[in-house]
């Protein structure tokens, strides 16, 4: 077993645990961006967002909320980032999916940069990455009514 997070789950490596249940573990990041930086992981090994199943993802997000609330209550940061990196280029250092909870304080050294969107690219990319709303059967009474705005936009989106 090479994965250090799997070793933490198995108790082969120490960690500063802050939450544990049957499927999920949260512990302090040993290289924190800020004091109070915590990680939430599924106990089972999944590499990233593409690999993990939806149910397990929901579990880790739910624990993320619990831990974030605790950090917010006890450390009283001025803000808090939830971050989940996929791939080396995105800064994923351990290939076992994990959610970062990073409390933010005035004048801290954590930095994210953003850039102004190029308009043409912005529109092209929007079309390319728009996710279709799942089709749902309308309720009986709705079938008789005029199509609602939502239904129209769904049809419109299919034309691309
Ligand atoms: Zn692992």
Which is catalytic among the residues 37, 96, 98, 100? 98
Instruction: Tell how far the Cα of 96 is from the centroid of ligand 1, in angstroms.
Output: 5
As given in the structure block, the two tokens for residue 158 are 């299919």
State the pLDDT at residue 156. Answer: 47
In order along its 160 residues, the chain shows pLDDT tens digits of: 699 999 999 999 999 999 999 999 999 999 999 999 999 999 999 999 999 999 999 999 999 999 999 999 999 999 999 999 999 999 999 999 999 999 999 999 998 888 888 888 889 989 999 999 888 776 666 655 555 555 444 544 444 3
CATH of domain 4-104: 3.30.428.10
Per DSSP, the three-state class of 28 is strand
Cα(33)–Cα(102) distance, integer angstroms: 7
Note if 98 is an active site residue.
yes
30 burial level (CB within 10 Å; 0-12, 13-18, 19+): exposed
Instruction: Tell how far the Cα of 47 is from the centroid of ligand 1, in angstroms.
Output: 7
Question: What's the predicted TM-score (pTM) here?
Answer: 0.81
Residues of the chain with CATH 3.30.428.10: 4-104
């Amino acid at each position: 077993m090479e994965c250090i997070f799997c070793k933490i789950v198995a108790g082969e490596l120490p960690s500063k645990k802050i939450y544990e249940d049957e499927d999920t573990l949260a512990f302090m990041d040993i290289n924190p961006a800020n004091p109070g930086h915590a990680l939430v992981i599924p106990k089972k090994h999944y590499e990233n967002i593409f690999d993990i199943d939806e149910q397990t993802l929901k579990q880790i997000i739910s624990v993320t909320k619990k831990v974030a609330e605790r950090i917010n209550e006890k450390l009283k940061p001025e803000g808090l980032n939830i971050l989940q990196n996929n791939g080396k280029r995105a800064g994923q250092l351990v290939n076992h999916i994990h959610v970062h909870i990073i409390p933010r304080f005035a004048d801290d050294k954590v930095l994210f940069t953003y850039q102004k969107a190029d308009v043409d690219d912005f529109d092209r990319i929007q079309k390319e990455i728009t996710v279709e709303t799942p089709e749902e059967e309308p309720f009986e009474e709705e079938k008789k009514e005029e199509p609602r705005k939502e239904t129209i936009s769904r049809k419109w989106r299919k034309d691309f």
